[in-house]
Amino acid sequence: MILLAKIDLLEMFISTFSGKVLIPQKIEAEVCCEGKEETPLMNRLIKEGLITVLPVKDWRAVKRLETDFSLDAGEAEALILAIEQNVSLLATDDRNAIRTCKVLKLEFTTAIAFLVRAFEKKLVDRDEALSRLDKLESIARYKKTITSDVRQRLEGV
């Protein structure tokens, strides 16, 4: 969600997603603190009810995920919340969280995958998509092969 906010796609993601957008309290604390560029947007989306903040019930499961999969607390809470709420899709760009989703058979998406889908659905044009990909490359930790493949796809190569 942070990456989507930083490349100005979070609101588009929320408006095109058919489900409810949920985040655990730990993620709210991480993204809604002073000094972060995405904080005003996140606070507004929460206040408007477009993002719902929920507590996690099974804290032992959170701690197990943190330990077993080397996850940060926010990612572990997001995964447990997804399980508890029977969420259809988890948005994450964290490598360990993605691996955990695969093990737990949870559907997931990434900021770069949403960017590609937004382009394919003509929600953003080629130049806009390439510009946002450039920004993602500067702020995210994607492998060069991934960003190169996406760039070729966006350019129609």
Model confidence at 78: pLDDT above 90: yes
Min mean pLDDT across 22-26, 44-48, 53-57, 140-144 is at 140-144
Query: Which domains are assigned to the chain?
Result: 2-109 (3.40.50.1010), 111-155 (no CATH)
- Residue 36 CA to residue 56 CA, distance in Å, equals 24
DSSP category for residue 18: S
Q: What's the confidence (pLDDT) of residue 157?
A: 60
Please indicate whether residue 68 or residue 40 has the higher confidence score (pLDDT).
68
- Residue 36 CA to residue 92 CA, distance in Å, equals 18
- Residue 117 CA to residue 120 CA, distance in Å, equals 5
Model confidence at 30: pLDDT above 90: no
- Return the bridge partners of 136, or none: none
Model confidence at 97: pLDDT above 70: yes
- Element housing 39 (H / E): helix 39-47
SS3 percent helix, strand, coil of the chain, rounded to 5, is 60, 5, 30
Supply φ then ψ for residue 156, to 5 degrees: 75, 25
Model confidence at 22: pLDDT above 90: yes
Model confidence at 80: pLDDT above 90: yes
The tokens of 153 are what?
């796809």
State the chain's mean pLDDT as an integer. Answer: 92
What is the average per-residue pLDDT within 100-122? 94
Percent of the chain residues topping a pLDDT of 70: 99
Percent of the chain residues topping a pLDDT of 90: 76
Q: What's the confidence (pLDDT) of residue 31?
A: 84
Query: Virtual CA dihedral for 38, 107, 72, 29, nearest 10 degrees?
Result: 40
- Residue 76 CA to residue 70 CA, distance in Å, equals 9
Question: What confidence category does residue 156 fall into, taking pLDDT thresholds of 50, 70 and 90?
Answer: confident
Q: What's the confidence (pLDDT) of residue 38?
A: 80
Position of tokens 């691996």? 99
What is the average per-residue pLDDT within 64-78? 96
Contact 7, 13 (CB under 8 A): no
